[in-house]
Structure formats: structure tokens, C-alpha cells
Structure 1
Amino acid sequence: MDSQRRQLHLFFLPYLAQGHMIPAIDMAKLFASKGLKISIVTTPLHASLLSKTIEKGKTLGFKLDVLIIEFPCVQVGLPNGFESYHMATSPDLRQKFLKATTILEHPLGELLQEHRPDCLVASVMFPWATVVARKFGIPRLIFHATSFFSICTSECLRLYEPHKNISSDSEPFIIPNFPNEIKLTRKQLPELFTQKVNDAGLMELYKQVIEAELTSYGAIFNSFYELEPAYADYYKRVLGRKAWHIGPVSLCNKENEDKARRGKEASIHGHECLKWLNSKEPNSVVYVCFGSMANFNDSQLMEIAMGLEASQQQFIWVVKREKNGGGKEEWLPEGFEKRVEGNGLIIRGWAPQVLILDHEAVGGFVTHCGWNSTLEGVAAGVPMVTWPVSAEQFYNEKLVTQVLRIGVGVGAQQWVRFLGDSIRREAIEKGLLRIMVGEEAEEMRSRARELGKMGNRAIEEGGSSYSDLNALIDNLRSHSFAVEE
């Protein structure tokens, strides 16, 4: 069989969290646009959220479908419908959720047996996927839902343990053998490195993730070479691992409708957002959003509101709060919405983030530094106020503020799982003004715009990500052809 003509069939197995699911779906669409057959394997809850994306793909001629596996909630003591990691808000729930994800190995094996795809692209959080893929003689590609920079940081911490040679949690240390001089403190590290976690299951998962990465076919990154060349090279040459960068994958969404439907159903209609933004001057609006996991308490939301108002900047603020039916909302200053009417828009729930960031009126982004948000901000060419909370977000902050120099920190110092570090309104106001007003803001905006242009060029014909995607497909095609021979 001609290896250049045979249609490849790829399975995608995204982790059951919005931060993994959204870029994985964009990635699946990218592969489908190249003529590959794509099957997304997920649970009923997430399958329902994908229906419109799948239908749109089919109208474009994509071979794109969803295969459903049941999530074993009851088997591990979780309530029915508990299918997303963001629901796991306690150590007990996290342990049960992680245990449930390991049980998915068997139904996935059955699907692999039935469909015999040519490759399995699975989230890094499913380490057992490498073993299952090997059992069926197909390559397993790891999808890292973060940057080269953060993976290299994590690996240097694991290999050299510099955080163990300091006297206090707040004493800075330098990451050894690193392309740039980057300093961190123990307070900013995930629980896995601070030994403050009593979750044996989480520690074991981390060990399995490392082993699976070392024995897999390679890794796919939602990044582009020009953004972090030293760290892409470090990952491949120093750590000695195979990788392909094919991002920013959010840029596969060209139409406003596609940008608006990424993730969950937005709490505001895209047209309403655009109408509001269309009335504003270029680079005059700050977009404030902290992703799907971070959940601030009332007092911190109050500080954000006061900081926004004091800055006198126009803003769109995304808040995880339902609309109060008339009673006083403890997280908002008295009369706040009336005072900022016309200058501020509060979105309660889920926002069409890429649609908003891409609008010319948006001139700054206050972000938790999740990688999706960070890269979407980069692709849109906007400077950022960085407010990391958990996961690898403190690493991404260093990339934004110190390496790329397109953002300023708000002063967060403490890694926490869900509730953000307590930041005062004065620090919030100062951060907003630094990215929106004055010479420093213009310098950051200029650098951010140039990176945005690079990101857009990377996915175009001849660009670094375009070429890496084609190289990966050719690689998989050759591997599949060799197996058949």
C-alpha cells in the first residue's frame, strides 16, 4: 500500500478537564483538516459539549467523530455525572477521580481492538495509555497541555532538587542547568515538590507520568518554536525527548462562531460581547479572567473590583458567580455596577475568551497563567498582568515576565490548589496601569504584538508549526506503513 495515500486514523483521549479538553479538540480539528480520520474518545458529559464542534467539522468535510466510554463514577464512590476534574474540590474527591481515570484503561483497550487506529494521542495525565497502545502495536503520543518552558522547569526540579538546598520556603533559588537565570521559591512550587502532599495516589501518578513520557513515541505541544526556542531545544537535546510543536492551536478557529463555541456554552452571547467591544477605542479594555479552576473568595473578588475601579480602566471581568436576584452581593462594592456602567462588563460564568482577546479594543489581559490562556494572550498580541494560582502557573509567569517580557506580576507568591493568593487592590491597580498606560506599557505591547504575529505566521504554510505538523503526520504514516510491511 502507498504510504502517502493511505488515510491515517488517530484516536484522541483528552483529560477530563476544560484546560486539557479545549486545546485537544482544536488539535484534533487540525489533524482532521489535513485529511486524517479522527476519533475523540471521551465520556457522555464531554461528548455532549462537543456535538456542535463535530457537526461543524463534518460540514467542512472533516472525518471527525466521538466514541463514548462511560466514566466509572459509582465504582469509585462518586455521584453519577461526576466526570470533570474541576468538580474534585477535596483530596478525597481527587483520589476517587484519579482512581476512576485508571479504570478507563479497559474500555479504551476495547475500542482500540475494535477500531485499530494508527496512533493514540492521549493526555499526559493518562500514563497507562502508553502500555495500552504498545499492546496493540501503535505509537502513543503524549499531549502536554502546557509549555516547553514549564516541562523543562519541572524536570530540572525533579532531577537536581535545588529547592531542597535552601533554608526557608520564601528563599529564592536558581533553576540549575537552565537556558535563562530563573528564580523560584518553594512557596511557588506544586505540592509534589514541597512534600506537603499526603496523597500517595498523586505521587504515584507523577512517577508513572514520567515513566510513560520516557517510553512513549513522543510528545505534542501547543506552542510554537519562535516563542520558546531555547526550551524546545532543551526538551529535545538536553532531556533527549522527541517532540513536535503545532500551536497556537486556538488559531484554527477562524470564524467568530467557532471562537465563541470553544469549551462550555458561554454565559454571554458572542454578538453582545462584540457589540460592547465595538464601542471602545483600540487597546482601551482590560480582559480579566482566571480560567476554569481558580476560584476566589468574596473578599478577594472585592479587592479585584476595587482595583479595577481605582485604575479607571475599561474592563471585561469574568467571575464564577451566579446573578443575584436582587439581594446584596457580598463580593461587589455597594453600587459598583452602576458606577462602572458603560466602562465595565461583568460576565458571570463562561466567556468566549478567544473572541474577546482577538478584538482590537482589548489592550491587556489579567490572567492566572494557565497555558491555554497564556498562549491565547500571546496569539492575540496583548500584554498581561500575571496572577498564578496553582499547577504550573508560577512557571508560566516566569516565561511571560522574565523571558518574553510581555507582562508584569501582580505579586502572587503562594501556590494553592483552588483559592488564589490574597492580593490587595493597590497591587491590582498598579499592575493594570503598568500594562495599559505609559512607556513601559507601550514597550510590552510592542513585544507582545510581534510575538502575536510570529504565532500567526507559525501556523501558516511554511511556518514552524505548520511544518512540524506535516513532519509528524509523515512520521506516523511511515511508521504505520513500516508496521504493515
Structure 2
Amino acid sequence: MGKQLHIVMFPWIAMGHMTPFLHLSNKLAERGHKITFFLPNKAKQQLQHSVLYPSLITLHPITIPHVHPLPLGTETASDIHLHLTGHLATALDLTRPEVESLIKGLTPKPHFIFYDFAYWVTEIATELGIKSVHYNVVCAASLAIALVPDRNVPRDRPLTMEDNAQPPPGYPSSNVVFRGSEARHMLLLGMEFGSGLTFYERITTAMKLSDAIAIRTCREVEGNFCDYMSAQYNKPVFLTGPVLPDIDDNIPLEAQWAEWLGRFEPGTVLFCAFGSQFILEKDQFQELVLGFEMTKLPFLLALKPPSGCASIEEALPEGFKERVGERGVVHSGWVQQPLILAHPSVGCFVNHCGFGSMWESLMAASQIVMVPQLGDQILNTRLMAEELKVGVEVEKAENGWVSKESLCNTINLVMDQGSEVGCLVRKNHAKWRQIMVNQGFMSGYFDTFVKDLEMIMGT
């Protein structure tokens, strides 16, 4: 190993950002590097158990100031509704004096600071002679379509759907795009997102001011998008690979799931998980669970109670539990997703195609069905379904509704051993999975990433 690096991590204060930053920290600490990780106190309590190298990784709590109209005690994006997130960015910016003081007091002096939304840390880093790396935990395709200088989001007027209908000049894919009304997801770019900046200005400024851009992806999957980003920002783009946490062989699958999954034949169980922030309306929730019932296959659904419901039980359709009996389980608590996906009985993974689930589905042996909701999930899905052709997206109605028939038909399509589509995605998935599980693939990316950091340290 070369010189020990000291790296400060300061991600956006949302679990979907802090968790991947911590996975990255564990990988760096595994190679002997020291990490100081800034995060809210509440998040420290939630993430402490995920620190694999406590002698090298220090979780340092920071105070998130109160900003009106956020509820008192708000510390992370999980505490608030999506429409208040811009105010949370204001709170993030108000941490600057504390963050600057903490960085100046660190020993040894950090070599790098990794960040994403806090663009102003680059000014602190420059003053102290520290290199800054803008680390992105979403796919390169979504960055390339939305967050590049050539997108040229207007400041003098609100964005319109027409502004977003086309990708920026030179965007390297005609498949990984928004279609029709999906362009509404781009309207966020023009919204104020703390400190008088729009979301677009915040992130593009953060990337422009960095010494390097890093992306949680691999060249085999998104190389063309990474090259486009490098050209747009005229700076190096380093790739970490997917950076998934290793499965601990000493932690078994919980007994209730091991016993239940063990009842079924290999490759027959449908597993569905939509992430920690995916909350459905009650009608859509019921439509989805009825779609799983229609498949006649065993299923395990890990879903949050829908809006307005205190529990899963009160949200289930009338007579549902009696009809499905022991072949179907709808669970609202946390589950060991990677261990469930690794179980031989699981034959299909129905997911929202968040970036973490995207990589987990590629690494698993089961078929892939995708039901995206938010902007980057839609682009992740297009990447999987239309570029890599490893899974199938569930068709939606014009209003974004997923019908039980559409869900059932898509699942049956990929599960049918004789269907042309099922055979195609099964073959392509097996090819990509073989690349990624190949010994040395993940570690090779990370070894190269550390060398890239060392290369720019002296520049």
C-alpha cells in the first residue's frame, strides 16, 4: 500500500447519499486510509453499525440549524416531505462555519474532501491546500442528461416541459431519455434549492469547482456517459465501480425468511422492494398487490404502508390474505435485501430501480422487472431495459398508473422460460452478471480509483 490518505466525507444529508458515501469509506478504510465523516447526529446513530473499520473511520456529528418552515428537529431528508427539501439545502449551507472549523482542526490535515451538494467546501479546500472530489451516487446517464453546462437551464424564467423535451447537445444515447410527460422530472432543475441557487446551479457549480469528478459506476455499463461528463466539465472523471457492501457470511438470513423461502422450488418466488422512501397511494398499492396475486406465483413484498394507512394490514384489498394464503407475504419492515436476492428460491426481483437496487439486481441471478417513479430511477430503468437489455420495465398508463394486469403480464413475460423476451433478458443478464461477479472486477476498479486519487494529489 502507498501513502495513507486522510479523506473528509461530507455528503448531502439524505440516507440515499450518506449510505453510499459510507460504503465508499469502508472500501477506502479496507485499504488502510483514514476517513472523517461529517453527518447529522441522528444519522450517526443510524449508520454507526455500518462502520466496518472503526479505528480508521470517525463519524463526526454536525449540528443542522433550524430553518423555517422545516419542522423542529429536522436533520435529514427522511424527516420531511419532498417539497421542503430546498429549505434543508439552506440548513446545509448554514453548517459552513462549523464544517470549516472542524476541517481546520483535523490532524493530520486531510488530503481530500469528498462532497456532492455542499459546493462551498471547495473554497475551504482551496484555502487549506486540500483536493476536492465531487462524488456522485446516481448514474452517469442522469448526470449527463440533466447536470451539464450544455443543458443551459434558464434563470430568468420558470422551466417549461418544452425546455426538457430534448437532451443536451451531444448526449450519447437515444434510449436513456425521458419520454412525454416524464420530462416533468426535469422541472426540479429550475427550482430554488437553498441559498438563492437553483438545483441545477448548485450541482453544476459543485462539479465545476472540483478538482475531479467521481461517479459510482463502471465503464462497461456507462463509459460513454462518463466520457461525455469529462468533456463537459473539462476535468478527470474517476470511477469507483458500484461499491456494494460485501455480504457478511457470518450474518445469516433471518430465520422467518429462510424458512418461508425454503418452502418453494428454486427460481419461483417473486421478491419486490421499492426502497425506503417509496410510498404509494393506497389505490396504487392495492393494484400492485393484486397484480402479484394474479401471477399465481409465490411472492414476498417489502413495501411501506401506503399514504394514509398506519399499517400494511389495513391497506390490503378485501379478501386478499385469505385468497393468497401462505404463498404471499406483504411485509412493512426492513429486510436483508441482498441475502433474500441470493436465496435460490427467488426467481424475479421487482424493484424501483434506484441506483443501489439497480446494481444489486445486476449482481443477482433472478430476473429483473422495474417499476420506476422518480427521475433517476426512470433513466436507470432505460439503461437496464433498453441499453443493456437485462430486464423489462412495466408499462404505465398516461397518468403514471401501473395496472395489476400490466404488472402481472410483465412478470409472466420474464418468468416464462419459452418467451422470446424472457430468454433475451435472461441471456443478457447472465452475461453482465458474469462480468461483475468475476473475481477482481470490483477490487480492480477500486485499486485504480485510489491510484487516480494519488495521481492528482500532487497536481
TM-score (norm 2): 0.87
Distance 1:300 1:325, change over 3 A: closer
Is 1:51–2:48 an aligned residue pair?
Answer: yes
Match of 1:453 in 2: 434
Measure the CA separation in 2 of the matches of 1:282 and 1:188. 37
Identify which of 403, 425, 432 aligns with 2:404.
Answer: 425
Is 1:374–2:353 an aligned residue pair?
Answer: no
> How many Å apart are 1:275 and its aligned residue?
2.9
AA partner of residue 469 (structure 1) = F
Match of 1:249 in 2: 243
Q: Which runs of 4+ in 1 moved over 6 A?
A: 198-202, 324-328
Instruction: Verify the 8 A CA contact 1:248 1:379 in the aligned structure 2.
Output: no
Instruction: Verify the 8 A CA contact 1:45 1:81 in the aligned structure 2.
Output: no
Match of 1:434 in 2: 413
TM-score (norm 1): 0.82
> How many Å apart are 1:307 and its aligned residue?
0.5
AA partner of residue 275 (structure 1) = E
SS in 2 for 1:388: coil
Measure the CA separation in 1 of the matches of 2:445 and 2:310. 54
AA partner of residue 98 (structure 2) = P
Measure the CA separation in 1 of the matches of 2:33 and 2:70. 36
Q: Which runs of 5+ in 1 are unaligned?
A: 162-166, 261-268, 415-419
AA partner of residue 283 (structure 1) = G
Distance 1:50 1:406, change over 3 A: same
Distance 1:435 1:329, change over 3 A: same
> How many Å apart are 1:218 and its aligned residue?
1.5
Identify which of 440, 449, 456 aligns with 1:472.
Answer: 449
Is 1:128–2:120 an aligned residue pair?
Answer: yes
Match of 1:103 in 2: 94
Distance 1:168 1:63, change over 3 A: closer
SS in 1 for 2:255: helix
- Give per-residue Cα distances to partners, 1:244-275, cap 9 Å, x unaligned: 2222211x4131567x8xxxxxxxx7332233
Instruction: Verify the 8 A CA contact 2:338 2:360 in the aligned structure 1.
Output: yes
Aligned residues: 448
- Give per-residue Cα distances to partners, 1:275-319, cap 9 Å, x unaligned: 322333222122212212221111011101110101112211112
Measure the CA separation in 1 of the matches of 2:311 and 2:247. 41
Question: What is the correspondence of 1:137-148 to structure 2 with a 5 Å cutoff?
Answer: 137-148=129-140
Question: What is the correspondence of 1:58-457 to structure 2 with a 5 Å cutoff?
Answer: 58=54, 63-73=56-66, 75-89=67-81, 91=83, 93-115=84-106, 116-122=109-115, 124-155=116-147, 159=151, 176-182=169-175, 183-193=177-187, 204-237=198-231, 240-250=234-244, 252-256=245-249, 270-321=254-305, 329-412=313-396, 421-437=400-416, 438-439=418-419, 440-457=421-438
Instruction: Verify the 8 A CA contact 1:76 1:99 in the aligned structure 2.
Output: no
Q: Between the two proteins, what is the percent identity of the paired residues?
A: 22
Q: Which runs of 5+ in 2 are unaligned?
A: 154-159
> How many Å apart are 1:434 and its aligned residue?
1.8
AA partner of residue 136 (structure 2) = H
Distance 1:168 1:248, change over 3 A: closer
SS in 2 for 1:11: strand
RMSD of equivalent CA atoms: 3.3
> How many Å apart are 1:190 and its aligned residue?
4.8
SS in 1 for 2:375: coil
Measure the CA separation in 1 of the matches of 2:309 and 2:231. 57
SS in 2 for 1:98: helix
Measure the CA separation in 1 of the matches of 2:452 and 2:343. 37
